Amino acid sequence: MASEPVPDGDQPYDERVVVDLLPVLRRVVGARIKDPHTVDDLVQETLARLMSTSRRIDPDKLHHYAAVTARHVVASYAERNDRARKRAHLLAEAEDVEPPTDGLLRQEDGEFVSAALAQLSAADRDLLVAHEVHGADTSTMAAERGSTPGAVAARLSRARASLRVEYLLVAEGAVPPTDRCRPVLRALSSGGRRRQRELDVNGHLLACTTCAQLADRLFERRGRPAEEDGVVRVQVSRDADVVTARQQGREAAARAGFSLSDQTLIATAISEISRNIVKFAERGEVTVSLVSEDGRQGISVVARDVGPGIANPEEALRDGYSTYHGLGLGLPGARRLMDTFLLRSVPGEGTTVTMEKWLP
């Protein structure tokens, strides 16, 4: 979606004026911070602040203002770290002595396993017990069942995936709200990509709170992007996920051959749409992929969420529009940073933002 014409008297603003200051920002931050990932994060934060305020700054003073802003961002980061260090002693130390409750926990865990096994089919249950408890190998089990070792191994893998799901359901005391929940969770547990696509697992996780929570426990995947066929998916529900999405976007842009300045623009746009998910939606997902079209190479970013939706998308894309007080650029800023931008929203269901940027 192209940017709308700017009314007379309000001249268009080129974010590249600020982006050209990136070497200055990196030099100021890098002189005080040594970790390269932290430098990237702080430069990104400084850039967002500059873009939200630089229209009001005299162009001749922008260079000085950028350096001062970068120093303030570094100082705030150092202050947060200092507070964390001072409070570190409040954390409980790990004990080498086994707590007396561990025996009860092991007993409870055994009960969970028994309850989970009871939910499997008799054939899967017998197969797991023979292999895991009695130590039977796949060749022996295949001969007893008139099958092949490969088929038995595949059946064992599916049975283990189902057992993990049932164990989690019992341990969490969760009741799947729909008939799709168990197949979706089993597809996630087994790691079968084709089955996950057939079931539209990602769409189901966005719509089903129960499965979304169980999936996080099943894989402990929060903060770890999943990658499939060059497409990176980042589950977004908290501030740390915004950082992950931004980093993944920057890395993808670097692989595509974008300049450092364009990598920063892309990462900033991803930050803005990811931050919107955290602030306004229950949860969401950001997908980053490399694309090609008519001989051009570029990057595509799709962010979708399950949230209240946007009643008036046109107003939300108007410069200056904001439903919260913050330093971000919002949707209008993200649109200006990318070559194409499409916003689709259904009140009460959620919002999808699709953005693309192309190499020159």
CATH number at residue 259: 3.30.565.10
Structure token pair of residue 239: 């501030």
Residue scoring higher pLDDT (130 or 36):
130
Q: Looking at the predicted structure, is the pLDDT value of residue 353 above 80?
A: yes
- Number of domains within the chain: 3
Task: Specify if 10 maps to a domain.
Answer: no
With contact defined as beta carbons under 8 Å apart, do 277 and 336 qualify? no
Contacts of 174 (CB under 8 A, 6+ apart): 168, 210, 213, 214
pLDDT of residue 54: 61
pLDDT of residue 324: 46
Task: Specify if 170 maps to a domain.
Answer: yes
Contacts of 25 (CB under 8 A, 6+ apart): 43, 46, 47, 66, 67, 70
Q: Looking at the predicted structure, is the pLDDT value of residue 26 above 80?
A: yes
Rg (CA), the chain: 25
Among 152-166, 228-242, 245-259, 331-345, the range scoring the smallest mean pLDDT is: 228-242
Task: Specify if 168 maps to a domain.
Answer: yes
What's the rounded mean pLDDT across residues 55-84? 80
| Residue 302 β-bridge partners | 287, 354
Measure the CA–CA gap between 210 and 178, rounded to whole angstroms.
10
Kindly report whether the global pTM for this prediction surpasses the value 0.85.
no
Task: Specify if 299 maps to a domain.
Answer: yes
Task: Specify if 58 maps to a domain.
Answer: yes
Which pLDDT band, with edges at 50, 70 and 90, does 105 fall under?
Answer: low
Q: Which of 173, 178, 186 is closest to 120 using CA atoms? A: 186
Range picked from 15-29, 49-63, 269-283 for highest mean pLDDT: 269-283
Structure token pair of residue 142: 């295949």
Average pLDDT, the chain: 79
Task: Say how many CA atoms lie within 13 Å of 158 toward its Cβ.
Answer: 14
Task: Specify if 7 maps to a domain.
Answer: no
CA torsion sign, 292 to 293 to 295 to 296? negative
pLDDT of residue 286: 93
With contact defined as beta carbons under 8 Å apart, do 356 and 14 qualify? no
| Residue 350 β-bridge partners | 346
Are both 232 and 343 inside the same structural domain? yes
Are both 122 and 180 inside the same structural domain? yes
Measure the CA–CA gap between 205 and 214, rounded to whole angstroms.
10
Are both 34 and 54 inside the same structural domain? yes
Are both 246 and 140 inside the same structural domain? no
Contacts of 342 (CB under 8 A, 6+ apart): 1, 353, 354, 355
What's the rounded mean pLDDT across residues 277-296? 87
Measure the CA–CA gap between 357 and 359, rounded to whole angstroms.
7
Are both 53 and 142 inside the same structural domain? no
Element (DSSP H or E) covering residue 208: none
pLDDT of residue 1: 42
Are both 234 and 316 inside the same structural domain? yes
Are both 206 and 162 inside the same structural domain? yes
pLDDT of residue 315: 75
Contacts of 354 (CB under 8 A, 6+ apart): 300, 301, 302, 340, 341, 342, 344
pLDDT of residue 301: 94
Are both 235 and 280 inside the same structural domain? yes
With contact defined as beta carbons under 8 Å apart, do 269 and 252 qualify? no
Task: Specify if 98 maps to a domain.
Answer: no
pLDDT of residue 226: 58
Domain boundary among 78, 100, 121: 78
Are both 231 and 354 inside the same structural domain? yes
Structure token pair of residue 54: 């630089």
Task: Specify if 189 maps to a domain.
Answer: yes
Are both 64 and 181 inside the same structural domain? no
For residue 55, give the DSSP letter: G
What's the rounded mean pLDDT across residues 231-244? 87
Domain boundary among 188, 219, 250: 219
Residue scoring higher pLDDT (109 or 329):
109
**What's the domain range around 137?**
109-219
Residue with tokens 């099943």: 218
Domain boundary among 219, 252, 280: 219
Measure the CA–CA gap between 332 and 322, rounded to whole angstroms.
10
Are both 71 and 188 inside the same structural domain? no
Are both 195 and 244 inside the same structural domain? no
